[in-house]
Amino acid sequence: MATSKTLVSQSQYFSNKTHSRKTLNKINSFTRITYVSHDLMKSRHGFHKSSFSLKLNHFALWESKNDSHGRILHVPSISRAIVASANMNKNDEYHKQKNMTFVEELRSVAMKLHVKDPSRKGGNNETMAQILMKEKPSLHGYVNFLVDSKVVYDALEKIVTDTDYSSYAELRNTGLERSGALAKDLEWFTEEMGIQIPPPTTAGIAYASYLEEVAVKNPKAIFCHFYDIYFGLAAGGRMLGKRASEKILEKKELEFYKWNNGELSELLQNARERLNKVAQSWSREEKDRCLEETEISFKYSEDIMKLIIS
């Protein structure tokens, strides 16, 4: 009969930067180890799970008195096997990454951040998009969201147009630009709904300021923010816009969610090709530095999205 033990000690072979859980399943004369780890210093790589089989003589096991748990006393073979397995996973990830286009890498990193966040206050571990899709937007909050969004798009579009960095030419005139559309929408709120447009909040100002700063310190980082901002709007952003339209605007479709100068799918494909073209000449280190901006972009964007239900 198969039995299951939890190895509660941590081998000296593992870095104190890694939180790990190891599960032992004894089946006949072999033992199957499942090792799950999360490297807190490399959040982009997320969780890793490895499984492998070892003979019982590879390790020593001490039973507690109530036979409820076991503890490893000496596990050099297991430790080496786990480390070897982890290295194999890293190699597999490296080869998978190597075969990806840069846009596929951007998408992969972004998708890993679209997971439940257990750190949210009150035990709410839903993503911000899930929360916004359930909560009713407020008219005041939605206008604030549009104002802050315009501040960010203004900053980004000014950076790629005016900054003396040759690669930014690939980010110009993509048809995805939203600043002009947002200006029309805010004008509509004033003229048709009599709403006085408020100044931007600290959320929008903070993100715009960060974009201006990073464009100087690390110009390549802008390509990550470009992807997250425009492609994010084309995906989940449109769903949030549709819900706001149905709940508070009597199904009015804002210009923010229209792309009149071409089919959206074609515009996005053109942008993908441009991003991939630029990144072809980048080193692995340069690509990784850009990919690391994804989490920063998500944080700033989430702060702005929260305004919708404020």
Output b/e per residue, 167-193; b: 16+ Cβ within 10 A.
bbebbeebbbbbbebbeebbeebeeee
Q: Is the dihedral of CA 5, 8, 9, 13 positive or negative?
A: positive
* 118 and 254 assigned to the same domain: yes
The Cα 247–Cα 60 span in angstroms is: 63
pLDDT the model gives residue 260: 81
* 156 and 290 assigned to the same domain: yes
Confidence of residue 88 (pLDDT cuts 50, 70, 90): low
* 50 and 111 assigned to the same domain: no
* 216 and 143 assigned to the same domain: yes
* 114 and 202 assigned to the same domain: yes
pLDDT the model gives residue 309: 93
The Cα 230–Cα 176 span in angstroms is: 7
The Cα 181–Cα 259 span in angstroms is: 9
Count of the separate structural domains present in the chain:
2
* 110 and 184 assigned to the same domain: yes
Among the listed residues 146, 141, 172, 140, the one whose alpha carbon sits nearest the alpha carbon of residue 157: 172
Tell me the pLDDT tens digit for each residue of 181-236: 999 999 999 999 999 999 999 999 999 999 999 999 999 999 999 999 999 999 98
Q: Is the pLDDT of residue 307 over 90?
A: yes
The tokens describing 131, both together, are: 């929360």
* 89 and 117 assigned to the same domain: no
Q: Is the pLDDT of residue 156 over 90?
A: yes
Q: What is the pTM for the complete model shown?
A: 0.69
* 128 and 182 assigned to the same domain: yes
Looking at per-residue confidence, does 119 or 246 come out higher? Answer: 246
Weakest-pLDDT range from 106-115, 125-134, 273-282? 125-134
Q: What is the mean pLDDT of the chain?
A: 78
* 148 and 290 assigned to the same domain: yes
Per-residue CA distances from 178 to 52, 153, 256 (Å): 51, 6, 6
Tell me the pLDDT tens digit for each residue of 5-55: 444 334 333 344 444 444 444 444 444 444 444 444 444 444 444 444 444
Q: Is the dihedral of CA 191, 192, 197, 202 positive or negative?
A: negative
Residue after which a domain boundary falls, among 64, 79, 98:
98
CATH at residue 138: 1.20.910.10
Residue after which a domain boundary falls, among 51, 72, 98:
98
Tell me the pLDDT tens digit for each residue of 226-257: 999 999 999 989 999 999 999 999 999 999 99
Residue after which a domain boundary falls, among 98, 122, 140:
98
The residue segments making up the domain with residue 107 are: 102-309
Using only C-alpha atoms, what is the Rg of the chain?
25
Weakest-pLDDT range from 10-24, 107-121, 143-157, 247-261? 10-24
Other C-beta atoms closer than 10 Å to the C-beta of 241 total 21
* 131 and 89 assigned to the same domain: no
pLDDT the model gives residue 113: 85
* 185 and 301 assigned to the same domain: yes
* 56 and 153 assigned to the same domain: no
